[in-house]
Amino acid sequence: MQEQEYDAFLSKYFRTERLPHIWCPGCGLGTAIQALVRAMENSRIDLNTVAIVSGIGCTGRAAGYLNFDSFHVLHGRAIPFAVGLKLANPKLNLIVLSGDGDLFAIGGNHFIHAARRNNDILVVCVNNFNYGMTGGQLGPTSPFGSITTTSPYGNIEPSFNLPWLAASSGATYVARWTILHARQLINTTVEALNRRGFRFIEILSPCPVNFGRRNNLPEGIDELKMYQKHTEVINFADPKLAEIRWEDKIVVGKFVDVEKPVYEEKIASLIEKAKGGRRG
Amino acid sequence: MSEQSSQSVRYLSGNIALVEGAIKAGCRFFAGYPITPSTEIAESFARRMPQIGGVYIQMEDEIGSIGAVLGASWAGVKSMTATSGPGFSLMMEHIGLAVMLETPCVIVDVQRGGPSTGLPTLPAQSDVMQAKWGSHGCYEIIALSPNSPNEAYSHAIRAFNLSEQYRVPVIVLMDECVGHMYEKVRIPKDEEITTANRKTPANTQPYLPYKPDEDLIPPMAIAGKGFRFHVTGLTHDERGYPVATREAQNKYVLRLSDKIRKNAEKISEVEQVYMDDAEVVVVSFGITSRPALRAVRMAREEGVKAGLIRLVTIWPFADTTIREIARKAKAFVVAEMNYGQIFYEVERCSSGKQVILAENLGGEAHTFEEILDKIKQVK
């Protein structure tokens, strides 16, 4: 891509007047979000129909940099806001872009229920294993044994297996990649953008400043090397096997890709039915 | 819904009347979670919304319900939720977000006894201060208090109109009595009803989502129309972009309050009964205003010049009216189903005149005797 061409691409997708962004050196969010916009470019989605909803946290700030109708809402509440937007205007393409703490600790209830209902939303979770924005606290995805500011002796909790949670809650599309798998991530996101229903992509992404340096991954590149060494691509693996443990292989790839009736379509047919046979 | 060409009278509960009023106001999105004593509102919407091409969704909790309501409002649809005390508590953070994003929405709180689970099936009026101050930060909202099913209908319309006009969450503070009582409700002709819609920007570009007009209210974009706007719960500038400075905070948060404060006189509505020569002024609202009116009449029969001020709107508080009345009145009796909430507002505006609280912690409405006794305590 030539420089001029790149600038045009940049200003098509980003609010360039807001750059530079607030993210730390070595953070994976740049790569993760670049994959998202490259996927949009490849998917030929009508950009005016895209609405981005983010919660609070480092990933939550993405909504403010992306050049779409974008909503930076409450901590943990991006999904219900997106559910309302989509139901009120079914022509919108809703993308919830948020972090692991936002979506799965404080926001976990909304995630499982939107998945169960099959609300037509693409949820992209950038998982950096901790609360980065607040300085590196334990989160629901911190692997067992992780050192964080609130688990100084090592995490005693098991971590959430997000693909399994999504699949068992009813998501129609479930995938996981790391930011090292940039091309696969773009391809997966194009595919997810073209599907309907509750779709979930987990992106593993380094947080060297707040998580990595306490867990023997002091530079961004160290976590990328860990991804290279420890990930194994298996498509349609049993999502049960997607648990992340320091000593084990990390399964990446597509876990689920099925079709199910979408909630918004069911609402539309409900309206048809009620308008036809009106009860007194 | 078919056109209402002629006036009709229906026999409805407050909860159901409120639903019909909301539909008439143009509400086409309801998200909620069942909770006594507001559940009939959700049930009615579940039946009515599909008939009129609207959306009803039962969310996983009250937090999700109001979150979805805000989202739907940004898609340009008039939206509401309904709950009671415990659910209202859960909605507080989102009420702050609605204020911060200037999102029109209506929240109905059919009050029951508290704190906590309290008296799920019995009335109270103890969420008055929570409605005003329940979310963190400094802000203003609007709250209405119907005292009959008939008013539940008309207040639903007014709530949407005010919410759309001022881009602020409007809270309808009902109580269990009004929610569940059945009375005659006058359904006006369509031409008698005025509905308001939010201002929308003329052009998609350039568009500054938080650049207010002279009335302090910015036009509101709708998602999906090519505006490419950004909104955030962070303190922001006219572009909608976060700015963490004292100046930005001062400028933005002042306007959020001022757009309501400077219009308080226009928004505020009180009903005055027997006030021409009143010396003892009973201040009340919601269901309590009904035994209060009887107490005023009984006091008059006994030779006490009593009058009633009914707060039709609760927030913004009717400062000017109460201050004016305080010049002539001898004393105030505040009858409310709590242990003193509006009491302190009246005291603040009473210019040192005696203010007596006719308290009631909830469970049953006041008897008129309880209020009459307080009227007689005035020396």
A196-235: per-residue pLDDT in tens?
Answer: 999 999 999 999 999 999 999 999 999 999 999 999 999 9
What's the CATH code of the domain at B30? 3.40.50.970
pLDDT over threshold 80, residue B2: no
Q: Determine the residue of chain A that is closest to B62 in CA distance.
A: A80
Q: What is the pLDDT of residue B5?
A: 63
Q: Which residues does chain A have within 8 Å of residue B63's beta carbon, measured at their own beta carbons?
A: 77, 80, 110
Measured CA to CA in angstroms, residue A61 lies from A75, A111, A177, B336 at distances of 11, 19, 21, 45
CA distance A105 to chain B (A): 15
Q: Which of B192, B223, B247 is the last residue of a domain?
A: B192
Q: Are residues B181 and B328 in the same domain?
A: no
**Nearest by CB: A74 against B60, B61, B94:** B94
Q: Which residues does chain A have within 8 Å of residue B241's beta carbon, measured at their own beta carbons?
A: 15, 18, 64
Domains of chain A, CATH where assigned: 25-276 (3.40.50.970)
Identify the CA nearest to A218 among candidates A23, A25, A21: A25
pLDDT over threshold 70, residue A278: no
Q: Is residue B350 part of a domain?
A: yes
CA distance B133 to chain A (A): 18
CA distance A6 to chain B (A): 20
Q: Do A84 and B226 touch (CB under 8 A)?
A: no
Q: Are residues B143 and B278 in the same domain?
A: no
Q: Do A89 and B224 touch (CB under 8 A)?
A: yes
Question: A residues 198-227 near B, CB within 8 Å?
Answer: none
Q: Which residues does chain A have within 8 Å of residue B225's beta carbon, measured at their own beta carbons?
A: 48
Q: Are residues B16 and B148 in the same domain?
A: yes
- Mean pLDDT, to the nearest integer, of B321-342? 98
pLDDT over threshold 80, residue B1: no
- Mean pLDDT, to the nearest integer, of B237-258? 97
Domain count, chain B: 2
Q: Which of B152, B175, B192 is the last residue of a domain?
A: B192
Q: Is residue B167 part of a domain?
A: yes
Q: Is residue B250 part of a domain?
A: no
Q: Are residues B275 and B170 in the same domain?
A: no
**Nearest by CB: B71 against A64, A80, A270:** A80
* Interface with B, mutate which of A11, A67, A75, A89 (most B CBs under 10 A): A89
Q: Is residue B251 part of a domain?
A: no
Interchain CB contact of A268 with B (< 8 Å):
no
Interchain CB contact of A88 with B (< 8 Å):
yes
Reported as a single tens digit per residue, the pLDDT across A98-133 is: 999 999 999 999 999 999 999 999 999 999 999 999
Q: Are residues B15 and B146 in the same domain?
A: yes
Q: Are residues B33 and B162 in the same domain?
A: yes
Q: Per-residue confidence at A279, pLDDT binned at 50, 70, 90?
A: very low
Interchain CB contact of A53 with B (< 8 Å):
yes
Q: Is residue B130 part of a domain?
A: yes
Q: Are residues B137 and B43 in the same domain?
A: yes
Q: Is residue B34 part of a domain?
A: yes
Instruction: Say how far apart CA A96 and CA A89 lie, in whole Å.
Output: 16
Quote the domain boundaries for residue B168: 8-192
What mean pLDDT, rounded, does chain B reach? 97
Q: Are residues B54 and B165 in the same domain?
A: yes
Alpha-carbon dihedral sign for residues B98, B104, B108, B113: positive
Q: Do A85 and B63 touch (CB under 8 A)?
A: no
Q: Which of B134, B159, B192 is the last residue of a domain?
A: B192
pLDDT over threshold 80, residue A178: yes
Q: What is the pLDDT of residue B359?
A: 97
Q: What is the pLDDT of residue A277?
A: 53
Q: Are residues B187 and B295 in the same domain?
A: no
Q: Is residue B362 part of a domain?
A: yes
Hey, what are A253's tokens?
């790839």
* pTM (predicted TM-score): 0.97
Strand order in the sheet with A250-257: A231-233, A250-257, A173-178, A199-204, A121-127, A93-99, A50-54, A69-72, B230-232
Percent of chain B with pLDDT over 90: 97
Q: Is residue B174 part of a domain?
A: yes
Q: Which residues does chain B have within 8 Å of residue A77's beta carbon, measured at their own beta carbons?
A: 63-64, 67, 94
Q: Determine the residue of chain A that is closest to B94 in CA distance.
A: A74
What's the CATH code of the domain at B316? 3.40.50.920
Q: Are residues B175 and B312 in the same domain?
A: no
Q: Determine the residue of chain A that is closest to B100 in CA distance.
A: A73
Q: Are residues B303 and B180 in the same domain?
A: no
Interface size A-B, in CB pairs within 8 Å, comes to 142
Residue length of chain A: 280
Q: Are residues B56 and B153 in the same domain?
A: yes
Question: A residues 226-265 near B, CB within 8 Å?
Answer: none
- Mean pLDDT, to the nearest integer, of B244-263? 98
Q: Do A89 and B223 touch (CB under 8 A)?
A: yes
